[in-house]
Structure 1
């Protein structure tokens, strides 16, 4: 998905949020924000996609503030809340058949995508997850098609998004493995907002449910093929299905599909948290989406 004009203030405002949290000196903040504006302007003029531009600006924030992982504590809180909820979820699903458990866990994993610090006019407190998980329903629901494809798949690549959310992803991956596929989970190599990193993945035991856990090669919110290591590219080439969580992965992979750089089936699982993404998906802002895209030759 190519950036829209309204993506510009969002790309800038989220970095102001970072600086308000990390800096006290107003003059230093002014200099930093002017640099952010310049990075955004140059990136968009070069035709870069939104997640790539955002990766550059967040890398700069880490450098200028000297704080390597600005949302480390927020990520830990998100994981703690999600872990408590996950035990309740597991108990409630015990009596269901595996296919029904997978369908319900897809919904829960999408609802887990609610936690996100990277959208300018969006806020969610992970302590409100319990109510949200109970009420959240899908507007675009390809779960039956996705489960059918999972059952026929030998290898699946699972592109993770946020901390906290990844706990619900773990539940889903565990059930998917019951149907036989090998799972390669891809997380961020470097900190980006509240996204799950290799370090975070180790702390929460992601390797307990994934056959392999690999770094994406960057801190970008969506998988950037040009930055991905060979082992990630090889897994994508070998897989039968890509499960892509969140806005950033939708922005990147939808464009790769359009450019025929990715030909694998992709199951997009996300909340449409902004108008440009919602319009691209044909849903309303705030809607939950499970969309299967199968590329045509």
Structure 2
């Protein structure tokens, strides 16, 4: 997907939310907003939406002089999710279909997003996931592929949310009764708002899953990895039999990838239109 006009006011709201998250200094908040507005004046309309988030991240990083201004917030998000992990595990283990339940919870975990929300109510998100059906639910195909695939690539999204992803992958391994030959976890190669970076993977223990490796894509800064939409990354995708993309940004970037699974909460009217589901929907979509 390419950016649209509606992406611009959304970017400004994202910038304001995140400026307020990292500083109480009104002068610094104003500086961040002015610099974001200036950057948007010369925007390239061929960008993918996540590159606007990278723009906001770059402005905040430069304005604060802090190379990782969201480090503490990512840690708090991880701790918040880890705190309820035992409860989530019990929900999965006591359910009729453990894998489907873990998928629902993973989609609900996508509510943890600095770009879209400030502080989600995780208990409410979990209760809603168990109460309401997925608006798009390609579960049977996902289950079949999860049982048969030997190699999985999983594009992670946000800190905190990855605890829900950990639970999903653990449940997949349990239902399979055997490990994947390889699990490739794709994260940003450098800080970008609340997006997962390698230290977050290690912090929540995702790297301890069998046959797991981490690959990094760019956060918009040179030297942090290949561009998300590059042929290099597309090549990684084609090497795996099971392809899972978590969250809106990964849907926006890879919606043209066939034979892939997208797990997300719809938080944007453009995505709602593209995916064919209302705002707030929880989604498990297979692209054919």
Q: Which secondary structure state, in structure 1, belongs to the residue aligned with residue 189 of structure 2?
A: coil
Tell me if structure 2 keeps the 8 A contact 1:140–1:291.
Answer: yes
Cα offset for 1:96? 5.6
How far residue 113 of structure 1 moved from its aligned partner, in angstroms, is 0.5
Select the structure that is richer in helix.
1
2: CA distance, partners of 1:3 / 1:107: 28
What residue in structure 2 maps to residue 225 of structure 1? 228
Query: 1:71: how far off?
Result: 2.4
| Corresponding position: 1:290 with 2:287 | no
What is the deviation of 1:209? 1.9
Q: 1:271 to 1:16 in 2, by over 3 A?
A: same
Q: Are 1:277 and 2:263 an aligned pair? A: no
Aligned residue runs from structure 1 range 76-225, under 5 A: 76-94=75-93, 100-119=97-116, 122-125=117-120, 128-136=121-129, 137=132, 138-178=134-174, 179=176, 180-181=179-180, 182-209=182-209, 211-219=211-219, 224-225=227-228
Q: Post-superposition shift, 1:279?
A: 1.2
Paired with 1:95 and 1:50, the residues of 2 have a C-alpha distance of: 39
Give distance in 2, aligned partners of 1:124 and 1:30: 22
CA distance in 2: counterparts of 1:108 and 1:145, whole angstroms: 18
**How many Å apart are 1:139 and its aligned residue?**
1.2
Give RMSD over aligned pairs.
2.4
Give the unaligned 5+ runs of structure 1: none
**Residue 45 (structure 2) pairs with residue 56 (structure 1):** no
- Tell me the secondary structure at the aligned position of residue 44 of structure 2: helix
Distance 1:210 1:284 in 2: 37
Q: Is the 8 A contact 2:262 2:286 kept in 1?
A: yes
Contact 2:109 2:161 in 1 (8 A): yes
2:281 equivalent to 1:250: no
| Distance in 1, Cα, partners of 2:42 & 2:53 | 12
Q: Is the CA contact 1:50–1:251 (under 8 Å) kept in the aligned structure 2?
A: yes
- Distance between the aligned counterparts of 1:209 and 1:34, measured in 2? 44
Distance 1:209 1:42 in 2: 44
**How big is each residue's C-alpha offset from its partner over 1:186-216, in whole Å with a ceiling of 9 and x where there is no partner?**
1221111112211111222111125233242
CA contact (8 A) 2:247 2:264 kept: yes
Aligned length: 275
Query: What is the alpha-carbon distance in structure 2 between the residues aligned to residue 144 and residue 90 of structure 1?
Result: 22
The answer to which of 233-242 and 200-209 deviates more is 233-242
Structure 2 unaligned blocks of 5 or more: 221-225
SS in 2 for 1:87: helix
C-alpha deviation, 1:116, in angstroms: 1.1
| Structure 1 residue matching 2:218: 3-state secondary structure | coil
TM-score when scaled to structure 1? 0.83
Report the Cα distance in structure 2 between the residues aligned to 1:17 and 1:123, rounded to whole angstroms: 7
Q: Secondary structure at the match of 1:114?
A: coil
Q: Deviations along 1:44-64, whole A, 9 cap, x unmatched? A: 34x111112321331231122
Deviation of residue 233 (structure 1)?
5.4
Which stretch shifts more, 142-151 or 157-166?
142-151
Residues 225 and 161 of structure 1: is their aligned pair in 2 closer, same or farther, counting only changes over 3 Å?
closer
Measure, in 1, the Cα distance between the counterparts of 2:92 and 2:26.
Answer: 51
1:69 equivalent in alignment to 2:81: no
Shift of 1:33: 2.6
- TM norm structure 2: 0.86
Query: Counterparts of 2:186 and 2:254 in 1: how far apart (Å)?
Result: 14
